[in-house]
Structure 1
């Protein structure tokens, strides 16, 4: 196994960043830091390779979201805040390039320095760094932000903070983090937490805020107008402190006004786009893309249809089974639910069979599990946890493939055989256990998710053939968040985007400690020593080969866990947008990903 697996993904200069040894950390201040090797861009870089430093400023960017919101604080668990705010308003000590697997460059910090084994990391703030109200960003703000987010902020921030032994000021503008565990990624994670203004929250309860207090940050964008549940408007600060100061920001933040419009369902959102009330729309359904994007604004050329490539893993999208519930505690039942899901028939109905199925969590990338039995280093890693592996992890596993007909006889037969092994048989037309209890469960969906509803409607018809009649509950966005935060569901929609540099976020997604944390992201409730151990291995790997092997092994354990019923993947992005919205010719490695739209886009009329 060699790092040549990554060569198709690289741009000029990226090969060195991926293939260089992991032990090259230096004890001198640097302009950037990479998970492996050195940053691809030199200290004197002018702008990111996928940004246009000469882009004009001005114009409007209007995006539609389905659902609602009751908070403008995306850094806490309480309430439902627009997810975009975390990326549009938050700034951190360093910023991540989406043209490299995991590399950071200075943002609020002008330099980064680490210990020889990355047991500590130190940042030096730029003297120019300012919050949107003009006050300076200080080391005190940095320390307060990490302590606050790590204790009363959203649970996504707690895991990192628990691995910090100390945070101390080491100079007028410098701060050092010392870690209490061996984890090479922590030096990078320390650079990408949002920095908030301490003074704003004196006398206020940070964890209980909502629409009443809008967090002050240092970003070029600030919330300037909103109507609860209807829209949020952000305005670009022409006097943004980073203009001409931060190379990373050259060519970013070009649009004057960013507006997030909220709609009750996908149909209303699409209609708003068709008449120009919204000027950009990301389309996930290829059948709709090919069949419904012939409206007048497209035909006149006022709307452009852009198809954009990317080289990132598929991630996992589908319907997750909550293993905390008795119905789904047995892997044979979960496999039966996968067998019944007639993907080929559903894919034809939804996309015209144009989108391939997700085959594993890291499919569509060199990090994905390989077909057939586990071999070499992957097998060695897996054999460390013999009692935690399910069938297929070592010998090979593939999702079932139906004949494409509606009845899916083979899948139905396989499902019934597995269910019988697990103690469930059809009695009087219904699936029951030995005590005569019906097998049933609830599928929780969010209002307005019409595509998911259509998929579930077809799935329910298949379930009825094995004597299962699930309940479908459709709730509004606030209720949906409340219930999923409390893991109050049996099955629900699930989506996790994954990168080419998986790290500590894997603990949040499927680590044992996150399984019972309210508001966590381990929706399936998995607690598995192999998953925990393999995450630790990929975090502490000192070679790219071991990192790849550990990730492939993790992919096998997750996939053979049968926690999610996968649907189709998106190996390209489809964005319809106003002809006045433009993006650079150079696409980043991650493609359409947070940090690309609207970040590097600009508005310019012909």
Structure 2
């Protein structure tokens, strides 16, 4: 990797003078930062490449969420806020460009400094930065936000704080974070922490905030009205401080955005058909082809738009809880994967239109390559060969059925694996050596997007498992129970979706790290504990070479996939959005495609 604004040091300098000059010369102020190399956009750029900088402002859009919400604080572990809140109402020191794997540009901060080894990072705040109440964003607010979120905030913020040695004010508008571990991504992650107003919480416990109190933010939108559990309205702040920033040109164009909450997907879809909602995302390809021919589509009032992307597939499917004794054996998990007749289920539910996810980083250059591990991938994994599951080094592929409902060959292999693992059939019931039957419970959220299709898949799957002597039942619960039971790991299998980026980093430790194996509320739903996986993640975070980064990610992909933790279903290589015809979007699509950073952020409403 090329150092960020690195200056050479005269060889004649020695001792303390040499050390001091090296520190100064290797850390110069920059307008942006990239994980590898330099950011693509130059200092003084006018707007992000995938926006329409001349997009008109105005209009109201209404979106539908499933379930409900009981909190307006998206930053604590307590409560269930609308997931959009932290994206629409809050800002960080830096902002992303989603047309690059991982590059940041100044938002609340006007500049960033970091040495070549990225052992610390320093930000200088913009003098004009303001919270939505008009008060200035100060260094004290920044320090308080990092400390508070790192100790009392949602678990997703706490891991970063453990890697901060100190945070200190270095000038009237500058703050420095020094890290206690070698991790090149930390400088970028630091730039993405939300900044909140310290004075709002003086003398009060942030973690125990009232459900109806939203933290003050500095973003273009503020909460203007709400009814807990039913609806919430965000209004564009006409006095928003950062409207002229390059990162904000052509974005946040709607005057008002409202979320309406529905009990299930059917009711939500009917509301959209009736014109009560402005747009919906459709995840089922078969429904996209068959159900979107209603009157408003035929009249042209609703348009169907497909947005492609170049990001990894991520993982979607049924995750198996290895904390359960029946699922801690890889042979049992492989048997359950063999019994999941993907080809028949895909044909039944989507018309066979969607390709299957083959690994966590499939659909990208970061995915594991076919066959045995070679080169640097093999070299990185070999020290852990004694713990790696079969297929990690040799090569692993998901089973393929003949497409028939019976799936005889795969079920035959599943029986053999179960027998090898100590499970036998007695009077039609699969039992372990102690005579305990295998009864699997699948936790699903009633009416949730994606899980409606998963419920249908589970029904087909349960019939197949019954032929192995396994009983499977689905527990359909509301959103509150769903979150509570997932946090307590009270499930055998549950619906699982992890979106992955072209620049995976510290979040991988949250997803797969051993610290979360037994920690309630972690994102490690499968209970994974793998020294090999953690070693690959650490290598990804410390290497300065993009080739080494790719090798480590491909090696991690092998460990995850051959771990047989998830029964994968179909991948979404493009987003399907049905929307009012007045809603428009730029012709240039970012490499990450659609997401909260795209729809509705860069869309606008036409006047005609």
Q: TM-score range with shorter-chain normalisation?
A: over 0.9
1:320 aligned residue: 319
Shift of 1:379: 0.3
Shift of 1:603: 1.0
Structure 1 Cα separation of the partners of residues 399 and 3 of structure 2: 39
Work out which of the residue numbers 465, 470, 473 in structure 2 matches 1:471: 473
Structure 2 Cα separation of the partners of residues 327 and 128 of structure 1: 58
1:552 aligned residue: 554
Structure 1 Cα separation of the partners of residues 486 and 181 of structure 2: 31
Shift of 1:516: 2.1
Structure 1 Cα separation of the partners of residues 330 and 117 of structure 2: 40
- SS of the residue aligned with 2:386? helix
After superposition, what is the alpha-carbon deviation per residue over 1:66-116, rounded to whole angstroms, capped at 9, x for unaligned?
111111111111111111111111200000111000000000000000012
After superposition, what is the alpha-carbon deviation per residue over 1:548-593, rounded to whole angstroms, capped at 9, x for unaligned?
0000000000000000000000111110000111111100010002
- SS of the residue aligned with 1:441? strand
After superposition, what is the alpha-carbon deviation per residue over 1:207-264, rounded to whole angstroms, capped at 9, x for unaligned?
12252311100001011111111111100011100012x2111111110111111111
1:147 aligned residue: 147
Structure 1 Cα separation of the partners of residues 86 and 384 of structure 2: 37
1:308 aligned residue: 307
Structure 2 Cα separation of the partners of residues 349 and 206 of structure 1: 49
- SS of the residue aligned with 2:349? helix
- SS of the residue aligned with 1:388? coil
2:11 aligned residue: none
1:301-380 correspondence to structure 2 within 5 Å:
301-380=300-379
TM-score calculated relative to the size of structure 1: 0.96
Structure 1 Cα separation of the partners of residues 386 and 531 of structure 2: 9
Point out the more displaced range, 336-345 or 82-91.
Answer: 82-91
- SS of the residue aligned with 2:204? coil
After superposition, what is the alpha-carbon deviation per residue over 1:519-575, rounded to whole angstroms, capped at 9, x for unaligned?
111000101100111000011111010000000000000000000000000111110
1:159-238 correspondence to structure 2 within 5 Å:
159-238=159-238
1:432-443 correspondence to structure 2 within 5 Å:
432-443=431-442
2:504 aligned residue: 502
Point out the more displaced range, 515-524 or 33-42.
Answer: 515-524
Structure 2 Cα separation of the partners of residues 172 and 188 of structure 1: 22
Q: Say if 2:79 and 2:211, in contact at 8 Å, map to a contact too.
A: no
1:109 aligned residue: 109
Structure 2 Cα separation of the partners of residues 275 and 242 of structure 1: 37
Q: Say if 1:22 and 1:35, in contact at 8 Å, map to a contact too.
A: no
After superposition, what is the alpha-carbon deviation per residue over 1:486-511, rounded to whole angstroms, capped at 9, x for unaligned?
11111100000000000000000001
1:423 aligned residue: 422
Shift of 1:321: 0.4
In structure 2, the CA distance between the partners of 1:427 and 1:22, relative to structure 1 (3 Å rule), is farther
Q: Say if 1:22 and 1:543, in contact at 8 Å, map to a contact too.
A: no
2:296 aligned residue: 297
After superposition, what is the alpha-carbon deviation per residue over 1:327-363, rounded to whole angstroms, capped at 9, x for unaligned?
1100000001100000000000111110000000000
2:13 aligned residue: none
Query: Which runs of no fewer than 5 residues in structure 2 stay unpaired?
Result: 7-25
Structure 1 Cα separation of the partners of residues 434 and 218 of structure 2: 61
Structure 2 Cα separation of the partners of residues 209 and 460 of structure 1: 43
2:521 aligned residue: 519
Matching of residue 263 in structure 1 with residue 262 in structure 2: yes
2:127 aligned residue: 127
Structure 2 Cα separation of the partners of residues 119 and 418 of structure 1: 48
2:10 aligned residue: none
Structure 1 Cα separation of the partners of residues 576 and 5 of structure 2: 39
After superposition, what is the alpha-carbon deviation per residue over 1:346-402, rounded to whole angstroms, capped at 9, x for unaligned?
000111110000000000000000000000000000102122210000000000000
- SS of the residue aligned with 2:383? coil
Shift of 1:286: 0.4
Structure 1 Cα separation of the partners of residues 154 and 61 of structure 2: 28
1:397 aligned residue: 396
Aligned length: 586
CA RMSD of aligned residues (A): 1.0
2:93 aligned residue: 93
Shift of 1:21: 3.8
2:240 aligned residue: 240
- SS of the residue aligned with 1:110? strand
Structure 2 Cα separation of the partners of residues 439 and 24 of structure 1: 60
In structure 2, the CA distance between the partners of 1:157 and 1:85, relative to structure 1 (3 Å rule), is same
1:383 aligned residue: 382
Q: Say if 1:170 and 1:176, in contact at 8 Å, map to a contact too.
A: yes
- SS of the residue aligned with 2:101? coil
Shift of 1:22: 6.2
Point out the more displaced range, 223-232 or 341-350.
Answer: 223-232
1:6 aligned residue: none
- SS of the residue aligned with 2:261? strand
- SS of the residue aligned with 2:607? coil
Structure 2 Cα separation of the partners of residues 54 and 33 of structure 1: 26
2:605 aligned residue: 603
Work out which of the residue numbers 510, 513, 530 in structure 1 matches 2:532: 530
Q: Say if 2:462 and 2:473, in contact at 8 Å, map to a contact too.
A: no
- SS of the residue aligned with 2:414? helix
1:592 aligned residue: 594
1:2-21 correspondence to structure 2 within 5 Å:
21=2
In structure 2, the CA distance between the partners of 1:366 and 1:163, relative to structure 1 (3 Å rule), is same
- SS of the residue aligned with 1:170? strand
Work out which of the residue numbers 451, 454, 458 in structure 2 matches 1:452: 454
Shift of 1:472: 1.5
Query: Which runs of no fewer than 5 residues in structure 1 stay unpaired?
Result: 1-19
Structure 2 Cα separation of the partners of residues 483 and 126 of structure 1: 43
Q: Say if 1:313 and 1:365, in contact at 8 Å, map to a contact too.
A: yes
1:249-288 correspondence to structure 2 within 5 Å:
249-288=248-287
